[in-house]
Structures are given as C-alpha cells and as structure tokens.
Structure 1
Amino acid sequence: MLLADLGREILRDLSGAPPADLAAVLTAVPKTVGLKPSGLGTSAARAFLPPPQPTAEPRLFCPGPVRDDPALGEQVNEAVVRWAAEAGIYPGRLEKLRAANFGRLVMLTHPATDDPDRLLAATKCLVAEWAADDYYVDEVALGADPAVVGSRLANLYAVVDPPGLPRAYAGDLTRHHRARPISVAFRGALDHLSRYTTAAQFGRFQHQLAIQSLGWGQEADWHANRRTPRVWEYLVQRHLNSFLPPMLLIDVLAGYVVPPDEFHDPRTRRAFTTAGTAAVLVNDLYSASNESDNDHNLPSVLVATEGLSHRDAVLRTVEIHNELMTDFVTAAAALGATGSPQLRRFLADTWAWLGGSREWHATSGRYHSSDSGGILC
C-alpha cells in the first residue's frame, strides 16, 4: 500500500469527528490530554479525558471543523481562481487550482467570519505563498532551481517589505516584479490583506513570511545537495515552513487584535508555533503521493534515516503530531488562565483552525483526485 494510502487509512475514521470547544477548558491546565469524539453541544471536558490505553495504532488527536459552509467556500474559491488568472500564476493549471479548493480551506479554518471579502484576502495570501513554493522551490517543471532559490526569495521579499531604493534604481526593481507573476500575486494579495490589518498585525505577517523564506532556503539546500535531512533537522524546517502565515490571520479575519505584548510573549509564540508544526504534519500525511521525487515529508525522512517501514513511519508521524498537539493544548490552557480575553479567544480560534485544516486535507481535490499527476493535484 502506498504511504499516502496508509496515512489516509489511519486518519479516515476521524475525518468527520465533531469539534471540541477548547475555549471552555482554557482556565484549567489538564494533567493529561486525550481525544474522545463527542457530539455537538457536548461538554468540552469530555474531549479532554485521560488518553486511552496505548494501542498498536495511535489515533490522530485533532478536532473536527467548527463550520462547514460549502456555498461560501465555493464563492471564495471561484474568486481566487479568477484572481490567479489575472495575476498570471498557474496558467494551464487553473482547473487543478480550482479542484484544490483553497477557498474551502480558508472558509473551514476561519469560522469566526462569513465575510467573503475577508476570506478572499486570506485565500489570496495562501495561494501566493503556495505558488512561490511551487515555482521557486519544488517544481522543476515550473522553473524551480535550487541554485537560485536564495536570490529569488530575497527579491520576492522586497514585495513583502519594500525597500527604499535610490531613485536611479527603484525603476529596475519595479520592472523586475512587474514581469514576474509570483511578485504580482504577492503584491495584490498583500494590498488586499492590508485593508483589514492593524500595523502590528501586518508587521507580524511580514515577519513570518521572512521566516518561511528561511525554511524554503533550507529545503533548497537539501535539493541541491541531494541530501535527506535527519529527523530533528526536518522538524526544524517544518517549524520554519509551516502553516503559520495563514494561521496568523486568525484574529485579522475575526475582527479583533491580540495585544502585541501577549502575542509576542515567548510562551505564546512557543504554543502557537507548536500548533503550526502539528498542522503541517497533517499535510505531510496527506501530501506524500503528490510531492516531487526529491521532496521530503516526515514519513519519508523516518524511512530513510531510521529504517522504519512505510507503515511504521506513518504511525510514528501520527505519534509525533499527537505529542505536539498535547503540548499545544496544555500550553494554551496555562496561557488562558491568566491571559486577556483576546488571547483566550485567539487560542480557541487556533484550535478551530486546526480542525478546519484537517477537514480540508481529508476532502481536498489536491489530495483526493482521480488524476494523480501534476502540480496542484
């Protein structure tokens, strides 16, 4: 059985589990955290019972979606496909982009708003980031070349955080970006996003994109040198290159602001980045069959470096994911006990984001298409 099929087999029975309400337990630090599916309206305490006795096959510790509005997701998805066509990204691949259904991902992960324009702003940013990864880092067919990843990403970051160049050279930079669809996409996405952010929220988003670029550069090093990273090194890269950029928009789309002193507190940062790494490991489980031959995911790294079978590598990935989720819930509960209402809401909304992301991975055409060949399938 294929590695991706093994992952789906392990995840299938929980893909529709109803959500648990993290907000209700943020005032008490649980000694142990486990997953027990519960019905809508069930007390959150039932979702945080002591874990069952260990079994041979660990179950994925993750909530289900809080909101699923297919019509809203489709509205946002169609809008982002039209925008991608205007920006010039994914020419000839727009149907695959449509099937990936990133509009549904953002609808699922941001249940606090039903404003299509806010959701579209976040979806544009997500698609621009995904396109940069495809065009510059992963997909040779789209022009990716590890030898020039650093220069390309540094120049692209000049769209995210525009430099003040001398007038004699500013025009060169402008012409460079106008000729590159990825730059056009980033500029349009960021302009749209800026309608809804405070200066602090936009600044932290810029900062996270810089961190993501660092992770992409590390990945390019592995490609260029045909090297498989060690497990700890791969997890460092996933800490840098996770779902944190779209997750950072949680309070932006919901219309509130986490106080900067709380948001940048090392304890909050540690909890939030742990959740981001856990989320991207769900992506690793679902995306294995769609990645390039020289790409990496945690199961493949475990196979290559620790000698595990494909099945055991998938199960070990689930265990690692669950450990990270347990750490996040425990940290979120401690922070919620003393934090502001905005921070408590942000942590609860992060929990909801994780559940929406898992639902998208379980249903997206990006990972569940009958045509398994090509980018975005």
Structure 2
Amino acid sequence: MASAGPPSPAVTSAGLPSADLPSPGLPSVCAPARRRLPGPPSPARSRRARGGGAIPGLRYRPAVPADPAKAAEVDRRLEAWAERMDLFPREWRGQFARFGLGRAIVLAHPGAAGPEHLTAAGKLLLAEHLVDNLYCEVDEGKGGSPRGLGGRLLMAQSALDPLHSTPEVENRWRHGVRGDGPLRSYHFALRDYAALATPSQTDRLVHDLARLHLGYLGEAAWAETDHMPRIWEYLVMRQFNNFRPCLAIVDAVDGWELPEAVYARPEVQRITALAGNASTIVNDLYSFTKEMSNDPDHLNLPMVIAANERCGLKAAYLEAVEIHNRIMEAFEEESAALSATSPLIERYATALAAWVAGNHEWHATNTDRYSLPDYW
C-alpha cells in the first residue's frame, strides 16, 4: 500500500490564546490523599446544551468520510455476532443501533484491508464497551460499580490472557468465561482478531488492554474514596483509561505489521501515547454535557480543572480544550519528524492520525449521544 504521508498540521486549529499547561505542583512521595475540593458553580446554571458540531477552537484534522454502505455492513455483521454470542438483552438493541459502531470503525480505519478487518476491530470495540458498561460505569445503569471491580477485571484479563493449569481447572475457567457476556465478548473478539493479526500484534493488544484495566481501577479507587485528583494525576489515569487499545491495532487492521522492534522504540511509544491522550480528552470534552447531566460528580478533565483551580466550568472547559490542543500539536510535530526517518514509521503515524481524525469526527457528529455546552 502506498503511504499517504506523515500527519500534517491540523487544518482546523485553536482560536484560543496560548497558555502554559497548568502546573499544580508535584507532591511528595507520601503526599496524603485529598478529598474533593470545593466545587465549581452549579452545572445546571452554567451549562446549556448547544447541539452538535465541532468544538470551537479545537485542533483537529478532517476525517476521511465514512462510506455509508461499508458502515452499514459492519453494523450488520456486528449485530449478528452480538446476537449469536448472546452478548446483551434484546432491549439494548436500540442503543446498539444509535451508537453508530460501524460508522465509528469505518471513520477510524480508512485504510482497512477489508470488511473482515473492520469487523474484527468492531468486535474488539464492542467488547471493550461491554466490559466498561457492565463492570465499571455506574451512570450507564447496566450494573457497573467500583465495588469489587478488581476481581471482575482480573477475570476479564484472563479472557484475553488465558489460564494455563491442569485440564480440569482449565475446563472450569473456559466454562466461566463462556458463561459471562463481557468475558465471552473479549475472548471471542480477540480470537477473531488474532486470526488476522500476527502473534506479536495480538500480544501488543493484550498488554494494552491490561493498561486499560489499570486505568479503570485507578478511577474506581478514587470514586470509592471520594478523592479529587490533581490535574496531572487525572491525566496520568487517562493515559491508561484510554483509547490506546484501539490505536494498538491500526497496522493490523490495515493489513500489515509495524515490526515489534520499531514499535517498542521510545519515540514511537510517545507518538502512540500522544495520539491516545489527545483522543481521550476529545471524549472528555464531547461527553461532558451528557456525563454532567447524569452524574455531576463524574470525573472528567473540565471538572478536575474546575475543582483544582476553583474556577467556573466554562473557564475549566476552555482550559481543557487548550490542553488537548497542545497535546495534539505535539503529536503532529513529533509524528512528522519521526516519519521523515522511516517509511514504516511514516505509514504507522499516518494510520494513527487517521484514527485520531475519525474518532473526532464520530464524536462531533454523533448528536444522539453528545451535545456541547453553550460556552461560546
């Protein structure tokens, strides 16, 4: 496949004045956990839904438009797979349709090798959402809770990284995995992905899903102790509770492999992390109105900034946009510099940039799920 070239500077960039990243100060090693700081003004007074569209001033790149027929085919395959696997009750099917999973996958992977590769990516994303909603998220109302989450996520990781024991114990483990929807979805989604990917690509994904689970646990621990993290602590958590597993598969979905020795290089790991962090803050920004309506105490970057800096939500939201823009700028600049050193890295960086652009487009246009605060 011919390379599309390295990521170029965003065609839509920040209209906000430049500001330095907040520096809340590093704690000592034994810094005590702090309870929630005095909060910002009431969200109900400071936030009115503005509707859809791109966030004003947000730095992003336009996505390759999603082919509606291709997105519909991915949706059809995923819905058939979910029904065959009995992954969720029939009454949730309307939510599945409104989510627009097929379009999200097609937007994120414009260079996909084919429908099987897109479907494999969709199965993984669907499985990740099931684990998040049924195990972790309280405000989704599907059974998630921070209480006992460690045990559930340990079993979830075993669905990806299988038990090796006596035949009798392994049989009991298989029975347990197949008896639970989220575990079943993880296990069979990874199996189908592994059929298209190399062993090293599959192992890469398994490790990045462990990172994701670690982020879930950090957020859950803060919820249980009513801890308001410092801004830098929150961003550390979001580097783990992150879209990185989606980025880990971009080369496999496109039908090739970035060699492990290249992928493991610190500078390649850095652009991967920057792409994931920018995309995850995009999620915080676009889901802000929904999350604050469902649970005003739900942690997101604007809320954490408001609590730490004792400012209003509007000022905090605009500061979160600026943090995103600086991370996005670093991703673009460092990706371009690295791409000039290697055609393989150029191809990988292009796939990362396409995923980041598609993720933004899906959030900005998914008006059934997201709306913006009226801050402009």
TM-score by length of 1: 0.82
Matches within 5 A, 1:30-49: 35-37=10-12
The answer to whether structure 1 residue 347 and structure 2 residue 345 are counterparts is no
What is the CA distance between 1:309 and its match in structure 2?
1.4
1:76 aligned residue? 74
Query: Contact between 2:120 and 2:189, CA under 8 Å: does it hold in 1?
Result: yes
Question: Is the contact made by 2:290 and 2:370 (CA closer than 8 Å) also made in structure 1?
Answer: no
Deviation at residue 249 of structure 1 after TM alignment = 1.3
Q: What letter is aligned with 1:342?
A: L
1:54 is aligned, of 14, 17, 24, to: 17
Q: Where does residue 5 of structure 2 map in the other structure?
A: 23
Q: 2:155–2:183: 8 Å Cα contact kept in structure 1?
A: no
Matched, 1:195 2:198: no
Residue number in structure 2 paired with 1:290: 290
1:184–1:322 CA distance, 2 compared to 1 (3 A): same
- C-alpha distance in 2 between matches for 1:242 and 1:213: 10
Letter of the 2:65 counterpart: R
Structure 2: segments with no counterpart, 5+ residues = 20-54, 372-376
CA distances 1:89-145 after superposition (whole Å, capped 9, x unpaired): 332211111111111111001001262221111001001001111111113632223
- Identical aligned pairs, as a percentage? 32
Instruction: Identify if the C-alpha distance between structure 1 residues 90 and 166 changes in structure 2 by more than 3 Å, giving closer, same or farther.
Output: same
Residue 102 (1) aligns with residue 67 (2): no
Q: Does the 8 Å contact 1:109/1:354 carry over to 2?
A: yes
Shift of 1:327: 1.0
Deviation at 1:175, TM superposition (A): 2.0
Aligned pair partner of 2:309 in 283, 306, 309? 306
Q: For residues 89 and 365 of structure 1, what CA distance do their matches in structure 2 show?
A: 25
Question: Aligned-pair RMSD on alpha carbons?
Answer: 2.3
Instruction: Output aligned runs, 1:165-244, within 5 Å.
Output: 165-244=165-244
Amino acid corresponding to residue 300 of structure 2 in structure 1: N
Distance (whole Å) between structure 1 residues aligned to residue 75 and residue 355 of structure 2: 18
Q: Which residue of 2 is the match for residue 267 of structure 1?
A: 267
- Cα displacement (A) at 1:24: 5.0
Map of 1:246 onto structure 2 = 246
Could you tell me how far 1:83 is from its partner in structure 2?
A: 2.0
301-310 or 124-133, which moves further after superposition? 301-310
Which residue in 1 is equivalent to 2:23?
Answer: none
Query: Alpha carbons of 1:25 and 1:207: their partners in 2 closer, same or farther (altered >3 Å)?
Result: closer
Aligned to 2:361: 359
Task: Indicate if the aligned counterparts of 2:4 and 2:347 stay in contact, CA closer than 8 A.
Answer: no
Query: What is the deviation of 1:36?
Result: 3.8
Q: Displacement, 1:200?
A: 1.0
- Where is the helix percentage greater, Structure 1 or Structure 2? 1
Amino acid corresponding to residue 103 of structure 1 in structure 2: G
* Helix, strand or coil at the partner of 2:147: helix
Correspondence for 1:132 = 131
Aligned length: 329
Q: What do residues 153-209 of structure 1 show as CA deviations (whole Å, max 9, x unaligned)?
A: 011111101020222322221222122111111112111111210111111001100
Q: Distance in 2 between matches of 1:337 and 1:179?
A: 49
* Residue identity matched to 2:143: G
Contact 2:18 2:322 in 1 (8 A): no
The residue aligned with 2:25 is none
Q: Does the 8 Å CA contact 1:22/1:351 hold for their aligned counterparts?
A: no
Separation in structure 2 between the aligned mates of residue 274 and residue 116 of structure 1, nearest angstrom:
28
2:71 and 2:317 map into 1 onto residues whose CA distance is 30
The residue matched to 1:146 in structure 2 has which SS? coil
In 2: Cα distance, 1:164 partner to 1:101 partner? 37
Unaligned runs of 5+ in 1: 1-20, 27-32, 38-46, 370-377
